[in-house]
Structure 1
Amino acid sequence: MRLEPAAADWTFTRTVAGVAVLCRYAAAHGLDARRCLSGTGLDPEQLADPDREVTAAQELRVVRTLRRELGEVGLAVGATYSASTFGAFGYAVQSSRTVLDAMATAAHFIDLSFAFALPRAEVAGERVVVEHDGTGLPRDVRRFLLERDAEAVRRVLDGLVPGGVGAVLEVSGDRASVVFEADQLDRPLPDRSAEGLRTAEAVCRDVVDRRRARTGLAADVRVLVTQRLRDGAPMPDVAAALGWTERTQRRRLAQEGVGYRELVDEVRSSMAAALTARRATLPVADLAARLGYASAPAYLHARARWDR
């Protein structure tokens, strides 16, 4: 048995919940949220929004602040994670039939986690080894991320079944392993539910399909546009958030075959569809404001263009 993560690397889009976990740990140790979020472009009020997405770079900025202010606390942060930390992704894992099925589900939807050191699992003799390779992580926060992510995996695994699976964390240099006996793989999960799993997987597929449709720079730009949409998502602001000039951003997006306006329209149309699908429909003027339009007619004109 060998399980490979669906994501190729750690640069995928994440929910703000991962940043919220870091900020809660920081607050418990005297570091307030505004200081924790410094340089990210995020506000503390946004941490409670379950639909808000952030770039990997934004979460990484918070990690750097925690390490600078609190030291190498990756293990301690990782100890605060459980399956429920990860929303629908965590619920899908908990609803799986066995420990092995839960691990396969986690590998398939790994880009719905907050991981940087992506786990790879295999059976080696009588043991299961979940390997985390930190060599591709930024050197200044490598130890923090490696220990946090490996400890989080250990905690989630041990939380799947009563008494845990006996997982042990081993860290050596730029690698960390979570190890347990292979006979634990067939243990049934107490919260297993075929219906619950189908529901959770449907939610997870909807999110990953949308995220995987855009990767690389285009994915990050979409996230930053969404965060700034009420202000019209001006291109200079998004470019500055990425540390680039407008010209550089335009050139990099062109290399990926997409334009900035196209991405803004994608975000607006998808948000409009989600908002208008709700039972309590927003007034057109309010909807236009949420999407960053100066007036209701401007929004209606754009909507007509999307529908053509």
Structure 2
Amino acid sequence: MTHRSFTAKDAALTINYIGFVFRTLTNEGYHSEALLKNTGLTEQAFIDPDFRCSFEQHQTFVKNAIHETRDPHLGPRMGARFNPINIGLPASAAMSSDIFSTALDTLKQFISLNFSIVSLDFYQQDEQLILHWQSAVDVSDIEYFVMGSCVAVTENLLALLLGESVVIEYAELAVPTPPGWEKFQSNINFDVRFDAPFNRLVLPAHYLTKPLAGTDPIVHQHMLRLCEKQLAESFYDEGIEAQVTRYIHRRHFHSVPIEETAAELGLSERSLRRQLSLSGSSYKTLIDDVRAARAKELLAISGLPISTIAYDLGFSDPSNFARSFKRWTALSPLEFRETRSARC
């Protein structure tokens, strides 16, 4: 089957998680009509395993749910109640892995089968293991719901895999501190840092080699085959924004010409611009967002000189970098670094 990238208007997103949110809220007495208002979704859709919704429908449902519950923390609150077993085949394949790093590789490859709005990556940085969640489309209007849900679901999944209740050192979310956080933070078992460059979870790197209690090589291979089969039967690949972002990452966060990126993705420049426009984005916006996030990360967590960061990001000189960074953030690189240092 031919795969293609999806946009915000395509019926490409699985509804496992928002289906759980819908059932939970209706069981608590919230009216389905209010939750589904202007979504084009029906109650029947939430029990259809083959149903896919568009991101626009997903976003409208989430906004309705937050409005009806008057709970800005609905994402992490629901995520904490979501059983990670219900991630489905990817969770089963991960749980039967030999060691934790194999489980993470499995989730990285297949998590989109049932959580298609996000992708997962991980890497080791000194003594820390970084889990990096990235959205497949522009979720900026509901980013705290999406990434707060990811953090809470991941915490429960890690506890299930590793057999330990608290393994996360801290989380970073690329959103402002939400209203009422001071009261809600007692529900979280680790520190959460807001206004971060990326959405990440940080835990000790020694977990990578930890054997898993549920390891079973036969079950693992069987689950992998089922995941591969389901992935092969999927009509959609990852979102076009995610594909562009991934390529910019591979090109070391430089300002890659659009014609180069389009060729890499097997598209014409016109087609790439059109698909990004349908997703409510643009190539320049994506380039700026990705480079700004990387610049913030390097300024926040490294002691590299600002000039080195500028050259690493492909700028011809530090003054050009400083002008671009101020356009992105309204702060100079030095001001941003000093602000981050004052918070820590």
Q: How does the TM-score come out when normalised to structure 2?
A: 0.54
2:172 maps to 1:173 = no
Instruction: State the secondary structure of the residue aligned to 1:24.
Output: helix
1:212 Cα deviation after fit:
4.7
1:167 Cα deviation after fit:
1.5
The answer as to whether partners of 1:13 and 1:53 remain within 8 angstroms in 2 is yes
Instruction: State the secondary structure of the residue aligned to 1:69.
Output: helix
Instruction: State the secondary structure of the residue aligned to 1:122.
Output: strand
Partner of 2:151: 150
Q: For residues 87 and 58 of structure 1, what CA distance do their matches in structure 2 show?
A: 23
Deviation track 1:155-204 (CA, whole Å, cap 9, x = no partner) reads 21122122246124423225332111111111222222222222222222
Q: For residues 215 and 36 of structure 2, what CA distance do their matches in structure 1 show?
A: 37
The answer as to whether partners of 2:14 and 2:51 remain within 8 angstroms in 1 is yes
Q: For residues 215 and 170 of structure 1, what CA distance do their matches in structure 2 show?
A: 25
Which range moves more in the overlay, 158-167 or 98-107?
A: 158-167
Instruction: State the secondary structure of the residue aligned to 1:129.
Output: strand
Partner of 1:234: none
The answer as to whether partners of 1:154 and 1:169 remain within 8 angstroms in 2 is no
Q: Percent identity, aligned pairs only?
A: 18
Partner of 2:42: 43
Aligned residue runs from structure 1 range 251-262, under 5 A: none
Partner of 2:252: none
1:45 Cα deviation after fit:
2.8
Partner of 2:265: none
Q: 1:16 to 1:138 in 2, by over 3 A?
A: closer
Q: For residues 237 and 119 of structure 2, what CA distance do their matches in structure 1 show?
A: 20
1:37 Cα deviation after fit:
2.5
1:216 Cα deviation after fit:
6.8
Instruction: State the secondary structure of the residue aligned to 1:192.
Output: coil
Which range moves more in the overlay, 193-202 or 206-215?
A: 206-215
1:133 Cα deviation after fit:
5.1
**How many residue pairs get matched?**
214
Instruction: State the secondary structure of the residue aligned to 1:163.
Output: coil
2:233 maps to 1:210 = yes
Q: For residues 60 and 223 of structure 2, what CA distance do their matches in structure 1 show?
A: 30
Q: For residues 238 and 119 of structure 2, what CA distance do their matches in structure 1 show?
A: 17
1:213 Cα deviation after fit:
5.9
Partner of 2:212: 189
Instruction: State the secondary structure of the residue aligned to 2:97.
Output: coil
CA RMSD of aligned residues (A): 3.2
Name the aligned partner's letter for residue 204 of structure 2: E
Q: For residues 152 and 10 of structure 1, what CA distance do their matches in structure 2 show?
A: 25
Gaps of 5+ in 2: 173-193, 241-270, 276-344
Name the aligned partner's letter for residue 65 of structure 1: N
Partner of 2:102: 101
Partner of 2:132: 131
Partner of 2:33: 34
Q: 1:168 to 1:176 in 2, by over 3 A?
A: farther
The answer as to whether partners of 1:92 and 1:196 remain within 8 angstroms in 2 is yes
Q: 1:198 to 1:34 in 2, by over 3 A?
A: farther
Q: 1:53 to 1:195 in 2, by over 3 A?
A: farther
The answer as to whether partners of 1:34 and 1:43 remain within 8 angstroms in 2 is no
Gaps of 5+ in 1: 1-6, 218-251, 257-308
Instruction: State the secondary structure of the residue aligned to 1:147.
Output: helix
Which range moves more in the overlay, 178-187 or 19-28?
A: 19-28
The answer as to whether partners of 1:97 and 1:192 remain within 8 angstroms in 2 is yes
Deviation track 1:250-269 (CA, whole Å, cap 9, x = no partner) reads xx9xx89xxxxxxxxxxxxx
Q: For residues 66 and 33 of structure 2, what CA distance do their matches in structure 1 show?
A: 16
Q: 1:135 to 1:94 in 2, by over 3 A?
A: closer
2:140 maps to 1:118 = no
Which range moves more in the overlay, 150-159 or 120-129?
A: 150-159
The answer as to whether partners of 1:15 and 1:52 remain within 8 angstroms in 2 is yes
Deviation track 1:241-295 (CA, whole Å, cap 9, x = no partner) reads xxxxxxxxxxx9xx89xxxxxxxxxxxxxxxxxxxxxxxxxxxxxxxxxxxxxxx
Q: 1:180 to 1:197 in 2, by over 3 A?
A: same
Partner of 2:87: 86
